[in-house]
Amino acid sequence: MERRDVDGVADLVTQLGYPSTPRDIARRFERIDGRDDQALLVADDGSAVVGWMHVGSHPYLESDDSAEILGLVVAEGQRSRGVGAALVGAAETWAAERGCQVIRVRSRITRDRAHAFYERGGFERIKTQHCFQKTLGSHS
């Protein structure tokens, strides 16, 4: 991903269900771009961004390093054309180059089409869990 991709990525992130402006994406991109433990990937059709992925590697105390697909979306009208599979393949290569033996992805329980996509790609469903969130106040 490059800075020029923020408009297209903002559209895709919004399609995923997380409304974001190009300004939001540009600010977040600056925090991630250039990190060795994170990669932001895009697929384009020559004129527009048609897919986006965020992958990261994590060191853990309880297990060896692993990678996680932190976000993936392919544009409506571009799905089932190999874009997602190409992005996942690039993430797997990136993870293996960093010594990760495992790549994981979490997917909202309502995203049946995504679940089928990952299972076709060799991912196994290993557990179901709850996600908890707490909004933190300003620490100024």
On whether the CB atoms of residues 84 and 50 are closer than 8 A, the answer is: no
State mean pLDDT over 5-26: 95
Signed CA dihedral, 14, 17, 23, 25: sign only = negative
State mean pLDDT over 94-104: 95
* Structural domain includes residue 30: yes
pLDDT digits (tens, 9 = 90+) for 56-72: 998 889 988 999 999 99
Q: In whole angstroms, give the CA distance from residue 139 to residue 93.
A: 39
* CB atoms inside a 10 Å sphere around CB 7: 13
State mean pLDDT over 85-114: 94
Local structure of 85: helix, strand or coil: helix
Q: Which domain covers residue 108, as residue numbers?
A: 3-120
CATH number for 109: 3.40.630.30
21 has pLDDT over 80: yes
Task: Provide the pLDDT for residue 139.
Answer: 63
State mean pLDDT over 36-62: 94
Based on its alpha-carbon atoms, the radius of gyration of the chain, rounded to whole angstroms, reads 16
* Structural domain includes residue 126: no
